[in-house]
A and B are shown apart, each in its own frame.
Chain A
Amino acid sequence: MPLSTQSQTDDAQYILVASLDNARNISNILKAITFKDHAIFSATPNGLKVTVEDSKCLQANAFIQADIFQEFTIKEDSVGFQVNLTVLLDCLTIFGGSTVPGVSTALRMCYMGYGYPLTLFLEEGGVVTVCKINTQEPEEPIDFDFCSSNVTNKVILQSESLKEAFSELDMTSEVLQITMSPNQPYFRLSTFGNSGNAHYDYPKDSDMMELFQCTKTQINRYKMSLLKSSTKALALSCKVSVRTDSRGFLSLQYLVRNNDGQICFVEYYCCPDEEVGDD
């Protein structure tokens, strides 16, 4: 393979080298968090974390574990850079992102360090494309300070049932209200749109509900415009964990299984819109 022969010589210069037989395994996940152009990449020996933020109120993290890659070499404890995610995705799908079985784009992603571009070697059917994407000064991701010890309510659902609800959500509603409670209605999504309001109630004993751990009734509203961007990740995922902490911050964790059966996570944090009383 052209990629492997070529890389041997250059490897020494790079502080990060990650290769993947099928670029779609990473491009699919990155697509799910592409609601803003700029993405902060931070690599550790465990893998790659890609962070996208919106309005200082929403943060999406895609975790791509090191073992997803066929090769993942990192020479420092942590490597960080920022690139334009849209450009990166365009490069990853430069061969058209074909979905024909047996045809895949091999990827080798290399980074030489601060100030250098992110270099992608892409190969499909013997054709190699080299893309160099200029990196930017990495910004510090917002720390939402969401720790599991502060989680008051948590449910894990099969994504299937949420997909349907999200596809039907009344987008004229400015907010999505999430009610989580140890008592009825247990887990409720509500919208308040032009034509009236709508509620989606999930009973705690539904076979779609894998885990139901609610200790306290919480009703919080989140901007629909922010949560809407999480639907792409929802579409890819097979399970979702919905958690709220004592401040009403929302964490959505999506478990995404790729074509090879490997597991990645996409996580969203969202600030509550405002304090609301009972409705």
Chain B
Amino acid sequence: KVTWRIFKKSIENQQVFICRLNEACVCVCVCVCVCFSTCQGHSFPFEDRGRVVPRTTGRWADPPDCELLAFGLRLLPIRSTFLQQSVQAVFRSLATLEKTVEKCHIELDADRNRLTFTLHCKHGLLKTHNLSFQDSESLQAVFDKDSSTNVLKAQPRVLTDTVLNFPPSLDEVTVTVSDERVWFRNHVDQEAEPSKAMLTELCLSSDEFDHFEVRARSSVTFCLKELRGLLVFAESTGLPVSMYFDKPGSPVVLSVTDSVLDGNFVLATLSDESGVQTSDRTGTPAPPADDFMNDELESYLIAMDTSMAAGPSVPAPLAPGRVVSPTATPDPWSPAHSEPGEDLTEEEEEPGRPPNKKFRSLFFGSVYPPGSPLGGHTPSSQKVLASDSEDDG
């Protein structure tokens, strides 16, 4: 299946970079996994590393594919990776790439550890970049977006306008879905002083989405930077963005698709579990009950307000470790990441700390008594960010 891969491990930040190309997919992964595939007839020419094929004579990738590939490669968050820099050097200027490159040919010569990019440019100019690389251990993101419980599809403009409200310095954003609404809110770091943290929340109605399918209420937290990056691309191409996700801790897949290309960004989401539960990945709790439909915003804001004040003194409402997910399917991420900590590259929770985010106890603690049952949903140790009056009734 896998035709070739380039792997580099950066020891300093313990992030792993993969660039994997196969017939259907160009995949770049850290905690972010970027996959690009091209539809039939437009596939990149690739050579199978497993089998010994001396030289590939494949078809050519069209400019949109090159552009997308270049875009994906440029998104790689690792600075120290040598190969990444080399590849980025090939696609240094996206603006000129778009204007000048007519065809792109990518070829891997496994015997010589050489990756060749051949760009056919205007006026017959031919640019050949031979990059050397080292093979390294394998890491692969396994995901199945079609089995996701929640699917949202929106025009990039809708999402761009939404994320514009967050400060550029914000690292993660939390997306919460209910039957008819979606909330985007900034994720507040566990270490942050609750009284000083500013919370921003936007609520989008399901009408705003081209496709809105929520089978399980859920709340996932992931990197905003990658979302922003994708949105820039989606806006420039005018392609709608789809979000596929299940539960906290399992990846969210952001995808742009048209007839020629299919780009999937697989982003790790913050696991709900604290370090206490590191050994059991499948115990990720069910989505938090989060129905907000019958609540007035005012009452919510009041709740927020009081919880802000009460925050620091409110104990974490639930003990860690008692949560069992009803849908304990194997984590699709786990083949790649047996250690949950690897998922959370920037956001690892320290063992021994209170099990959850401070803002969980902030809101939850003030609005409900600790451990209050939440309707038909499995009680979760999760942050519950909105009041839940409907489920109570």
Residues of A at the B interface (CB closer than 8 Å) are 161, 164-165, 167-168, 170, 194-203, 205-208
Specify which of B83, B126, B131 is in contact with A200 (CB 8 Å cutoff).
Answer: B126
**Which of B86, B125, B130 has the most C-beta atoms of chain A within 10 angstroms of its own C-beta?**
B125
Beta-carbon contact of A196 and B123 below 8 Å: no
A201-B125 CB under 8 A given contacts A195-B82, A195-B131, A196-B132: yes
Name which residue of chain A comes closest to B92, CB basis: A168
CA–CA, A206 and B125, complex, Å: 8
Beta-carbon contact of A161 and B89 below 8 Å: no
Beta-carbon contact of A200 and B125 below 8 Å: yes
User: What is the distance, in angstroms, from B114's C-beta to the closest C-beta of chain A?
Assistant: 7
Beta-carbon contact of B132 and A203 below 8 Å: no
Beta-carbon contact of A198 and B125 below 8 Å: no
CA–CA, A196 and B86, complex, Å: 8
Query: Which chain B residues border A165 with CB–CB below 8 Å?
Result: 125, 127
Q: Does B96 contact A (CB under 8 A)?
A: yes
Beta-carbon contact of A206 and B86 below 8 Å: no
Q: Does B124 contact A (CB under 8 A)?
A: yes
Beta-carbon contact of A206 and B128 below 8 Å: no
CA–CA, A206 and B123, complex, Å: 5
CA–CA, A273 and B129, complex, Å: 23
Beta-carbon contact of A198 and B124 below 8 Å: no
Beta-carbon contact of A198 and B127 below 8 Å: yes
Query: Which chain A residues border B132 with CB–CB below 8 Å?
Result: 195-196
Beta-carbon contact of B85 and A195 below 8 Å: yes
CA–CA, A167 and B124, complex, Å: 18
Query: Which chain B residues border A202 with CB–CB below 8 Å?
Result: 123-126
Query: Which chain B residues border A196 with CB–CB below 8 Å?
Result: 86, 114-115, 129-132
9 smallest A-B Cβ distances: which pairs? A195-B86, A201-B126, A196-B131, A206-B124, A203-B124, A199-B128, A208-B123, A198-B129, A196-B130
Beta-carbon contact of B86 and A199 below 8 Å: no
CA–CA, A196 and B128, complex, Å: 11
Beta-carbon contacts under 8 Å, B192-210 to A: none
User: What is the distance, in angstroms, from B83's C-beta to the closest C-beta of chain A?
Assistant: 7
Query: Which chain A residues border B155 with CB–CB below 8 Å?
Result: none
User: What is the distance, in angstroms, from B390's C-beta to the closest C-beta of chain A?
Assistant: 58
CA–CA, A161 and B390, complex, Å: 67
Beta-carbon contact of A164 and B96 below 8 Å: yes
Specify which of A161, A167, A168, A197 is in contact with B123 (CB 8 Å cutoff).
Answer: A161
Name which residue of chain B comes closest to A168, CB basis: B92
Query: Which chain B residues border A161 with CB–CB below 8 Å?
Result: 123, 125
Beta-carbon contact of B128 and A201 below 8 Å: yes
CA–CA, A201 and B126, complex, Å: 5
User: What is the distance, in angstroms, from B82's C-beta to the closest C-beta of chain A?
Assistant: 7
CA–CA, A205 and B114, complex, Å: 30
CA–CA, A195 and B113, complex, Å: 12
Pairs across A and B, CB under 8 Å, 25 listed? A161-B123, A164-B96, A164-B125, A167-B93, A168-B89, A168-B93, A168-B127, A170-B89, A194-B86, A195-B86, A195-B132, A196-B86, A196-B130, A196-B132, A197-B129, A197-B130, A200-B128, A201-B125, A201-B126, A203-B126, A205-B124, A206-B123, A206-B125, A207-B124, A208-B123
Q: Does B149 contact A (CB under 8 A)?
A: no
Beta-carbon contact of B92 and A164 below 8 Å: no
Name which residue of chain A comes closest to B127, CB basis: A200
Name which residue of chain B comes closest to A208, CB basis: B123
CA–CA, A197 and B100, complex, Å: 21
Name which residue of chain A comes closest to B117, CB basis: A198
User: What is the distance, in angstroms, from A30's C-beta to the closest C-beta of chain B?
Assistant: 29
Name which residue of chain A comes closest to B90, CB basis: A198
Beta-carbon contacts under 8 Å, B128-159 to A: 128-132
Query: Which chain A residues border B126 with CB–CB below 8 Å?
Result: 199-203
Query: Which chain B residues border A167 with CB–CB below 8 Å?
Result: 93
User: What is the distance, in angstroms, from B176's C-beta to the closest C-beta of chain A?
Assistant: 43
Beta-carbon contact of A164 and B130 below 8 Å: no
**Which of A195, A197, A199, A202 has the most C-beta atoms of chain B within 10 angstroms of its own C-beta?**
A195
CA–CA, A203 and B96, complex, Å: 20
User: What is the distance, in angstroms, from B112's C-beta to the closest C-beta of chain A?
Assistant: 11
Query: Which chain A residues border B92 with CB–CB below 8 Å?
Result: 168
CA–CA, A200 and B131, complex, Å: 14
Beta-carbon contact of A198 and B82 below 8 Å: no
Name which residue of chain A comes closest to B84, CB basis: A195
User: What is the distance, in angstroms, from A179's C-beta to the closest C-beta of chain B?
Assistant: 12
Query: Which chain B residues border A203 with CB–CB below 8 Å?
Result: 124-126
Query: Which chain B residues border A206 with CB–CB below 8 Å?
Result: 123-125
Specify which of B96, B127, B131 is in contact with A199 (CB 8 Å cutoff).
Answer: B127
Name which residue of chain A comes closest to B96, CB basis: A164
Q: Mark B55-94, 1 if CB is under 8 A from A, else 0.
A: 0000000000000000000000000001101100100110
CA–CA, A129 and B246, complex, Å: 73
User: What is the distance, in angstroms, from A208's C-beta to the closest C-beta of chain B?
Assistant: 4
CA–CA, A197 and B132, complex, Å: 9
Q: Mark B10-34, 1 if CB is under 8 A from A, else 0.
A: 0000000000000000000000000
Query: Which chain A residues border B115 with CB–CB below 8 Å?
Result: 196
